[in-house]
Amino acid sequence: MSSSRAAVKCSSAKFTIRRLRRRDLPSDTVNLARYLIGRVVVHNLPAGRLSGRIVETEAYPPGDPAGHHFRGPTPRIRSMYLAPGHAYIFFNYGAHFMLNVVSEPAGTAAAILIRGIEPLEGIELMQRHRKTTLLLDLTRGPGRLAAAFQIDRRHDGLDLCGPGPLWLGETSHPIGSIESTVRIGITRAADRPLRFYERGNPFVSGPKSLLLPGTTSKTSSSRSK
């Protein structure tokens, strides 16, 4: 059985999802980026519920030269200054929305980009949203997953630990080995190992050369933040 088919078989098993509370979240951006691996994004839509395990993240801590917040506050990044667990959504190069989780105490800007998700529920809906039946094309990469989950600017500033339709949760699914490597598609602070992923998961995005622990390889993939 292929790794992608095995992932789907595992995902289709019955499970429950518990909403994460703000007090569950580590207070440090890097620790939270690692913690979110294996946690779940849920979007309750009129047509049905979408959910998926987070398998890849990138941390953009306070003062990070690669982050949108490096030059200080602007109206576009207002939501980055909210309490941890809020959503920061931006439109990347006029083409794709990106889901980020705010990660520091209110008033300090920092966030974590969600780069890859393993689908759990609502796969047929995701296929319609993405106009493809290829499973690995649904949520592998931040732009794809936002399209599959119907996440856009309307969700900017939403409390992902609150009672709203878009939220973070956790399940009893086992979490594989978590590795770290350099971030994708950036030029500043490009050598920092702030990208985390579940080793061996087929829904992790990016060049295979960057899936090796400790690598400092760079890529020309589309900028993530």
**pLDDT class of 223 with cuts at 50, 70, 90:** very low
Is 218 inside a domain boundary?
A: no
Q: Which residues pair with 159 in a beta bridge?
A: 86
Give the best-scoring range by mean pLDDT among 7-16, 68-77, 143-152.
Answer: 143-152
> What is the spatial distance between Cα 185 and Cα 125, in angstroms, rounded to a whole number?
29
Q: Closest Cα to residue 138, out of 41, 59, 17?
A: 41
Is 66 inside a domain boundary?
A: yes
Is 222 inside a domain boundary?
A: no
Range of 126's domain? Answer: 3-208
Q: In Å, how far from its chain's centre is CA 24?
A: 17
Mean pLDDT of the chain, nearest integer: 87
Asked if the model's pLDDT at residue 94 lies above 80, the reply is: no
Q: What is the 3-state secondary structure (H, E, C) of 156-170?
A: CCCECCCCCCEEEEE
pTM value? 0.87
Is 219 inside a domain boundary?
A: no
Q: Which residue has the tokens 């599959």?
A: 148
**pLDDT class of 217 with cuts at 50, 70, 90:** very low
151-171 tens-digit pLDDT: 999 999 999 999 999 999 999
Is 188 inside a domain boundary?
A: yes
Q: 38: domain CATH number? A: 3.10.300.10
Mean pLDDT of the region 84-113: 93
Is 225 inside a domain boundary?
A: no
Domain count, the chain: 1
